[in-house]
Amino acid sequence: MPRSPTPRRRATLASLAAELKVSRTTISNAYNRPDQLSPDLRERILATAKQMGYAGPDPVARSLRTRKAGAVGLVITEPLTYSFSDPAALNFVAGLAETCEQAGQGLLLVAVGPSRSVEEGSSAVLSAGVDGFVVYAAPDEDPYLQLVRERGLPLVVVDQPSDVPGASFVGIADRAAMRELADYVVGLGHREIGLLTLRLGNRDDADADGRAQAALVSSERLRDTPFRAQSERIAGVRDAMSAAGLGDDALTIVESFEHDAVSGGAAAELALTANPRITALMCTADVLALAAMDHLRARGIYVPGQMTVTGFDGVPEAVKRGLTTVSQPSLEKGRRAGSLLHQPPRSGLPVVDILPTELIRGRTAGPPG
Amino acid sequence: MPRSPTPRRRATLASLAAELKVSRTTISNAYNRPDQLSPDLRERILATAKQMGYAGPDPVARSLRTRKAGAVGLVITEPLTYSFSDPAALNFVAGLAETCEQAGQGLLLVAVGPSRSVEEGSSAVLSAGVDGFVVYAAPDEDPYLQLVRERGLPLVVVDQPSDVPGASFVGIADRAAMRELADYVVGLGHREIGLLTLRLGNRDDADADGRAQAALVSSERLRDTPFRAQSERIAGVRDAMSAAGLGDDALTIVESFEHDAVSGGAAAELALTANPRITALMCTADVLALAAMDHLRARGIYVPGQMTVTGFDGVPEAVKRGLTTVSQPSLEKGRRAGSLLHQPPRSGLPVVDILPTELIRGRTAGPPG
DNA sequence: GTGAAAGCGCTAACAG
DNA sequence: CTGTTAGCGCTTTCAC
């Protein structure tokens, strides 16, 4: 009975060697160091390899031997739906993917969504065959970040938290950037401001009514939030206001629990209801600002004539719609995070990389109406 | 001198065993089969593990041993920028990521962009430590798809090509769906139609002027295109037109080389110039249709009064703007592709899964003006 | 409950 | 140019 071209047992480097009566090294060389053997022999090897259905050295075995996985792990602790609906996050991933591509590395999305228990997510982190990790915008004390640290691999943290020992950091100066924007808004004459932020914690921490899309933020909640980037931006607004002699009561902070338009609209409505004298609605994210603008339009409130609206991120749609915002280089953040992993600094020391932001004076901010 | 808590050489299961004077099996059991040893012992093992900086069994070594990588590979042959700017592609990825998350699997983005040579991209495919592959919207004869097939792992092809031997397929009935839409448009009375499509091949194949954003499509180019989904949709339009007694000359086909608004606008312009009698602009993708609408507005051409515009995909922005289009379940495609890999059919045979589409009669189609 | 033995498939010296 | 020798770190029967 003739050999099947696709033998029961998958071909391995060893079986190929046996078949061809050469050593395993030679086969290995045929794939990894073509200059170490005669072209003829190599040709013959590749030919029988194909015929035996051998697609080349097993990646896993190679990884074990070389101690290189050829991939970096990306851990995003927010639900995927959030990240995939946020252009800033998406751009970040694109930038990271780009450098991975250039470095010939894979990008492993490590699954740690809320749909699994912490234990299950943990196993995903622990079983990721990667050479390093990027952790994107994790809250303080995040269990997965903790786990990643324990793996002891090179680690780059993006956006937050900014103080992970041993890890490099890529981010922006959230507080200063937001302050600059707030200085501008205050400079226009606004004295009662609404501030819309993305969620600062678990929904049920904030509101007994689990169905609410948005809620007023208490000072305790603000103090205790593990979402550093958001709270820094809020602090930036406060900085500008107190510099102008405005107290905390002039600022109405509302958090939106979801990343969508409905939630953003609800947050805007809540802010306006809580303090009807608000003349400016600042938002810690463009998605929120766009949702707020839609909501205001539906309510017949004209921007910027009757209400100033500002965002944060500088996503394309926001820029297109003339939103006054702060633009941050999301794509570049991804690239930096990638290079830090692919071409680590010679010192081996963690790097802190604060990228520049830019105030964009759009068409949605003006003097109080 | 006391042992350093972080020894030079990384701790392994074996070193832990030596330290604790138990067998390697026992350590392994402590992590993989907690019920196989006394809680006390397990506790002790985990404690010293932590102290020695051992984060658990090495994922790569485990993979080699168990023959499971715990991840699926996603190969997207289009440039990342395309995919990340196309909500339909994004939703697909989100759906796939979702099932991976639920299955506790990682999702490995395999880097095969155009920024690297085919050879380099190949190595990425060959060195991906995964249990299966999803190949998204690959052109016919794609070298990477070829390579993936040679790896001999479970494979799910999405959208195109639809006839990969041994692979499962997830997609939609492109031709029929587009025909339904075209029947509707023709039924409204349109007799001269412009058809905007995404690229059908390499740019330089089509046009000597490498700077052109768009080009008229010859029948040869259409016949030879490796992008099956696009050509099927075009065929659907033709079906409807010939059923109405309209010849090929009533259809002006233009391809847009880039995925962005500029390119889409240029394509629209080109179609209108090539045949000024066009009363309807059908597009094989919503991104194109939206760009066309923006362009028409800038030109002062009213939709649908003076021009009917239709899309394909049913992305949120299109629906929001009232585009008449065909909606396809992108998210669901991702989920299906994932389940096909995670819970393969008992038969082991390839599955062909054609998902339903829905004609959305928006506000952008009307009788010829 | 615990241990000994046998590899998973490969690459990296180092000799020849 | 080619072969020999040693593992990489782990899991898994199968005995004890």
Write out the DSSP string of A97-139: HHHHHHTT-EEEEE---TTS-HHHHHHHHHT---SEEEEESPP
Contact between the CB of B41 and strand C at under 7 Å: yes
CB A184 within 8 A of CB A361: yes
Q: Looking at the structure, do residues A62 and A187 belong to the same domain, yes or no?
A: no
Residue A8 domain-assigned?
A: no
Neighbours of B123 (CB within 10 A): 18
Q: Looking at the structure, do residues A163 and A178 belong to the same domain, yes or no?
A: no
Interatomic separation, CA of residue A103 and C1' of nucleotide C16, rounded (Å): 37
| Range list of H helices, A152-209 | 174-187, 203-206
| Run of H or E including A73 | strand A71-76
Question: From the C1' of D6, which residue's alpha carbon is nearest?
Answer: A65
- The counts of H helices and E strands in chain B are 16, 13
Report the range of poorest mean pLDDT among A42-51, A239-248, B4-13, B81-90.
B4-13
B187 has pLDDT over 60: yes
Q: Looking at the structure, do residues A181 and A287 belong to the same domain, yes or no?
A: yes
CATH of the domain at A131: 3.40.50.2300
* Structural domain harbouring B274: 174-327
Which nucleotides on chain C have any atom < 7 A from a protein Cβ?
Answer: 1-13
Q: Are strands B251-256 and B214-216 parallel, antiparallel or unpaired?
A: antiparallel
> CB-CB: which of B50, B110, B115 is closest to A106?
B110
Q: Looking at the structure, do residues B198 and B320 belong to the same domain, yes or no?
A: yes
pLDDT at residue A202, rounded to an integer: 86
pLDDT at residue B348, rounded to an integer: 87
Contact call for A109 and B105, based on CB within 8 A: no
pLDDT at residue B4, rounded to an integer: 38
- Residue numbers in B near A111 (CB within 8 A): 97, 100-101, 104-107
Coil vs helix vs strand at A69 = coil
The structure tokens 């997965």 sit at A144
Direct distance between the N- and C-terminal alpha carbons of chain A, in angstroms, rounded to an integer: 90
Structural tokens at position B149: 């097939």
Rounded CA Rg of chain B: 26
B205 has pLDDT over 60: no
Contact call for B62 and A128, based on CB within 8 A: no
Q: Which pTM was predicted? A: 0.92
- B362 phi and psi, to 5 degrees? -90, -150
Q: Which of A60, A64, A90, A105 to mutate to test the interface with B (most CBs of B within 10 A)?
A: A60
Gap between the Cα atoms of A246 and A281, Å rounded:
16
The structure tokens 């768009």 sit at B214
Gap between the Cα atoms of A134 and A303, Å rounded:
39
C-alpha B302 chain-centroid distance: 33
Neighbours of A1 (CB within 10 A): 3
Residue predicted with more confidence, B230 or A261: B230
Q: Looking at the structure, do residues B221 and B303 belong to the same domain, yes or no?
A: yes
Strand segments, DSSP code E, in chain B are: 71-76, 106-110, 132-136, 155-158, 168-172, 193-198, 214-216, 251-256, 280-283, 308-310, 325-327, 352-355, 358-360
Q: Which residues contact B76 (CB under 8 A, 6 or more apart)?
A: B83, B89, B109, B112, B136, B137
Contact between the CB of B361 and strand D at under 7 Å: no
Residue A5 domain-assigned?
A: no
Closest CA to B253 of B227, B282, B228, B232: B282
Coil vs helix vs strand at B207 = coil
| Closest-lying nucleotide for B23 based on CA to C1' | C3
Report the range of poorest mean pLDDT among B86-95, B117-126, B140-149.
B117-126
Contact between the CB of B14 and strand D at under 7 Å: yes
Q: Pick out residues 311-330 of chain B having their CB under 7 A from any atom of nucleic acid strand C.
A: none
Coil vs helix vs strand at B66 = helix
Gap between the Cα atoms of B144 and B110, Å rounded:
10
Q: pLDDT tens across A289-333, in order? A: 999 999 999 999 999 999 999 999 999 999 999 999 999 999 999
Gap between the Cα atoms of B75 and B85, Å rounded:
17
Q: Looking at the structure, do residues B199 and B337 belong to the same domain, yes or no?
A: no
Coil vs helix vs strand at B213 = coil
CB A292 within 8 A of CB A283: yes
Gap between the Cα atoms of B253 and B214, Å rounded:
10
Gap between the Cα atoms of B311 and B315, Å rounded:
10
Hey, what's the torsion of the CAs at B334, B340, B341, B343, to 10 degrees?
120
Structural tokens at position A132: 């390093």
The sign of the CA dihedral B214, B218, B221, B225 is positive
Closest CA to A60 of A116, A106, A9: A106
The structure tokens 């295109």 sit at B225
Of the residues A66, A84, A99, the one at which a domain ends: A66
pLDDT at residue B93, rounded to an integer: 94
Contact between the CB of A220 and strand D at under 7 Å: no
Q: Looking at the structure, do residues A281 and A224 belong to the same domain, yes or no?
A: yes
B129–chain A nearest CA distance, Å: 6
pLDDT at residue B3, rounded to an integer: 39
Which positions of chain A have pLDDT values less than 50?
A: 1-7
pLDDT at residue A318, rounded to an integer: 96
Residue A348 domain-assigned?
A: yes
- Residue numbers in B near A124 (CB within 8 A): 70, 101, 104-106
Gap between the Cα atoms of B362 and B123, Å rounded:
46
Q: What letter does residue A230 receive in the DSSP assignment? A: H
Residue B364 domain-assigned?
A: no
Coil vs helix vs strand at B27 = helix
C-alpha B233 chain-centroid distance: 17
Find the residue in B nearest to A72 (Cα). B108
> CB-CB: which of A62, A116, A124 is closest to B106?
A124
Helix axes B286-299, B87-102, angle to 10 degrees: 150
B6 has pLDDT over 50: no
C-alpha A269 chain-centroid distance: 28
Interatomic separation, CA of residue A24 and C1' of nucleotide C4, rounded (Å): 28
> CB-CB: which of B58, B84, B94 is closest to A80?
B94
The sheet with strand B193-198 has its strands ordered as: B214-216, B251-256, B193-198, B280-283, B308-310
B68–chain A nearest CA distance, Å: 9
Gap between the Cα atoms of B244 and B189, Å rounded:
10
Q: Looking at the structure, do residues B75 and B155 belong to the same domain, yes or no?
A: yes
Interatomic separation, CA of residue A147 and C1' of nucleotide D9, rounded (Å): 20
Cis peptide preceding A304, ω within 30 of 0: yes
Contact between the CB of A46 and strand D at under 7 Å: no
Residue B75 domain-assigned?
A: yes
pLDDT at residue B10, rounded to an integer: 81
Residue B295 domain-assigned?
A: yes
Residue B17 domain-assigned?
A: yes
pLDDT mean over B62-81: 92
CB A156 within 8 A of CB A337: yes
pLDDT at residue B260, rounded to an integer: 87
Structural tokens at position A150: 């324990």
Gap between the Cα atoms of B313 and B368, Å rounded:
24
Strand segments, DSSP code E, in B128-237 are: 132-136, 155-158, 168-172, 193-198, 214-216
Q: Pick out residues 200-219 of chain B having their CB under 7 A from any atom of nucleic acid strand C.
A: none
Find the residue in A nearest to B122 (Cα). A104
| Closest-lying nucleotide for B127 based on CA to C1' | C10
pLDDT at residue B207, rounded to an integer: 55
Q: Looking at the structure, do residues B165 and B221 belong to the same domain, yes or no?
A: no
Total domain count, chain A: 3
Residue B3 domain-assigned?
A: no
B130 has pLDDT over 80: yes
pLDDT at residue B2, rounded to an integer: 39
pLDDT at residue A352, rounded to an integer: 98
Closest CA to B21 of B44, B3, B39: B44
Coil vs helix vs strand at B353 = strand
Q: Looking at the structure, do residues B161 and B130 belong to the same domain, yes or no?
A: yes
Structural tokens at position A288: 């929120």
B210 has pLDDT over 80: no
Q: Looking at the structure, do residues A339 and A304 belong to the same domain, yes or no?
A: no
Q: Looking at the structure, do residues B115 and B206 belong to the same domain, yes or no?
A: no
CATH of the domain at B38: 1.10.260.40
